[in-house]
Amino acid sequence: MATQPESVITVCCSDIAGQVRGKGFPAVDLDRRRRFGVGWTPTNVMINCFGRIPATPFGAEGDLMLVPQPGGDIRLPYDDGTPAEHVILGDITSMAGEPWDCCLRSLLKRALAALEKEAGLRLLASFEHEFWYEGGEERPGDSYAASSLRGMEGFIGAFLAALRANDIAPDTFLPEYGPKQYEITIDPADGLIAADQAVKLREICRSLAQRHGSHVSFSPVVTPGIVGNGVHIHFSLTDLAGNPVGYEPGQPGGMSALCASFCAGILRHARALCAITAPAVISYERLKPHSWSAYYANLADRDREALLRICPYPELPGVDVARRYNIEYRGADATASPYLQLAMLVFAGLAGIRDGLPAPFISSGDPGRWSDAERTERGIADLPRSLGEALDALEADSIATGWLGPVLTKAYLMHKRGEIEMAGDHGLQELCALYARAY
């Protein structure tokens, strides 16, 4: 007797390694699982991108729940008769239902709540992704070329349609500068939704690529010596009524005092933030001079090698500049959890507002042409040159570790230092190949 195939739903979290992990259950149990979730273990958060647990502060003890959250569903129906793919993003809680110290999604909720309570502000954000697609054709001179998209129409069409079906609005899809490199941008959304969408987009992209007989990688460096894949985090501020508050005409860069203090807070903690936003050993192969990524902790107007870039807007009659005005953080990649990245940017920006930091110096051109003393005079610090240096900067920044809390700080530093130790056994070429497969 023929039977209908039964589908499994997976409840997942985005963890310290930037991976989406979870547990599945029969779809018929969904209503019950939406309340109680599935069992989870603290040490699961210590699984690194190489699939190992070099060390853990939790041991084999402890029990948690991974609970599906409203709006966390990813649904991918297929037309080949196989059950639809259904993943739900969740929060990690204690057995009593309280947020766990290392639940990164809950950390972002806390950051956004603090921004609203202390400053009366909300954050709009969008994660702009670059990725490598194996099925693309590599030809000399194909950077940004329309020919780079030929033969990919099936994948592109399915990808964009799946995004829309999951309430993610695509803005642009384009061939990028690197070989087989592409970029997808989406419309901005409220902070938590934006981070959810970033996680969903990566999983949808990977799933659709596999369905088309290929695979993608969001790794920061797929091929050594070639421009890498970044995640550019765009953000803007509104008041509680939704009115934009980041733009003020006549001010340097068109930046309001609130937005300037927010950016100054990010720059003040930039060295520590790199350990969170660029958290792979090979992230620092991408963060190099003249590679269209960040190398100094600077703010610039329309400069794609600044850590913070004031983004352009149409200078045409009738354009509502205030609603288009946004800042781009360029020192990030997809080896990190979007929740953790955005949470730390919000905490840093809020600290800048709380302390009334003055507007940062707006640089023009390469800060490397100035001496160390001249950069210091302008308030421009060097970014870390390695993950180890970034982790040391994070550990030394008591304010930043305070945002994480002692449990997550200890777990994070242990996790990432274990990753460094494991990576040390490999040369750059092999390491890039390992990260390319992991992400």
CB contact at 8 A, 219 and 319: no
Confidence of residue 154 (pLDDT cuts 50, 70, 90): very high
The count of other CB atoms within 10 Å of the CB of residue 218 is 24
Rounded mean pLDDT, 414-424: 97
Mean pLDDT over each residue of the chain, to the nearest integer: 95
Compute the average pLDDT of residues 388-404. 98
Q: Are the C-beta atoms of residues 286 and 220 closer than 8 Å to each other? A: yes
pLDDT of residue 2: 56
How far is residue 296's CA from residue 368's CA, in Å, rounded to a whole number? 8
The answer to whether residue 138 scores a pLDDT higher than 90 is: no
- Classify the C-alpha dihedral 365-367-368-370 as positive or negative: positive
Listed in order, the ranges of the chain carrying CATH 3.30.590.10 are 107-438
CA distance 37 to 128: 31
Ranges in the chain annotated CATH 3.10.20.70? 8-100
List phi, psi (to 5°) of 255.
Answer: -95, 130
Query: In the prediction, which pLDDT does 121 show?
Result: 98
- At residue 229 the predicted structure's pLDDT band, cuts being 50, 70 and 90, is very high
- Mind listing the pLDDT tens digit for each residue in 172-228? 999 998 889 999 999 999 999 999 999 999 999 999 999 999 999 999 999 888 878
- The vertex-349 CA angle with 343 and 350, nearest 5°, equals 90
| Cα–Cα distance measured from residue 349 to residue 235, given in angstroms and rounded to the nearest whole number | 11
Candidate CATH numbers 3.40.630.10, 3.40.640.10, 3.40.47.40, 3.10.20.70; the one for domain 8-100: 3.10.20.70
Which whole number is the average pLDDT over 245-262?
97
Least trusted range by pLDDT, from 107-116, 118-127, 313-322, 403-412: 313-322
Local confidence band at 388 (pLDDT 50, 70, 90 cut-offs):
very high
Q: How far apart are the first and last CA of the chain?
A: 42
**What is the b/e burial string over 121-148, where b = at least 16 CB atoms within 10 angstroms of the residue's CB?**
bbbbbbbbbbbbbeebeeeeebeeeeeb
pLDDT for 302-345, tens place per residue?
888 999 999 998 889 889 999 999 999 999 999 999 999 999 99
Question: Model pTM?
Answer: 0.96
pLDDT at 262 over 60: yes
62-87: per-residue pLDDT in tens?
999 999 999 999 999 887 778 889 99
Rounded Cα gap, residues 433 and 430, in angstroms: 5
SS (HEC) of the chain: CCCCCCCEEEEEEECCCCCEEEEEEEHHHHHHHHHHCEEECHHHHHCCCCCCCCCCCCCCCCCEEEEEEEEEEEEECCCCCCCCEEEEEEEEECCCCCECCCCHHHHHHHHHHHHHHHHCEEEEEEEEEEEEECCCCCCCCCCCCHHHHCCCHHHHHHHHHHHHHCCCCEEEEEECCCCCEEEEEECCEEHHHHHHHHHHHHHHHHHHHHHCCCCEECCCCCCCCCCCCCEEEEEEEEECCCCECCECCCCHHHECHHHHHHHHHHHHCHHHHHHHHCCCCCHHHHCCCCCCCCCEECEEECCCCCCEEECCCCCCCCCCHHHHCCEEECCCCCCCCHHHHHHHHHHHHHHHHHCCCCCCCEECCCHHHCCHHHHHHCCCEECCCCHHHHHHHHHHCHHHHHHHCHHHHHHHHHHHHHHHHHHCCCCHHHHHHHHHHHC
436 pLDDT higher than 80: yes
Q: What is the mean pLDDT of residues 25-42?
A: 93
Poorest-pLDDT segment among 90-94, 149-153, 359-363: 149-153
Report the distance separating Cα 33 and Cα 216, nearest Å: 31
Which pLDDT does position 315 carry in this prediction?
A: 83
pLDDT in tens, 278-304: 999 999 999 998 888 899 999 999 888
Query: Residue 93: what pLDDT?
Result: 98
More confident residue, 104 or 223: 104
| Percentage of the chain modeled with pLDDT above 70 | 99
Superfamily of segment(s) 107-438: Glutamine synthetase/guanido kinase, catalytic domain (3.30.590.10)
Partnered with residue 233 across adjacent β-strands are 127, 329
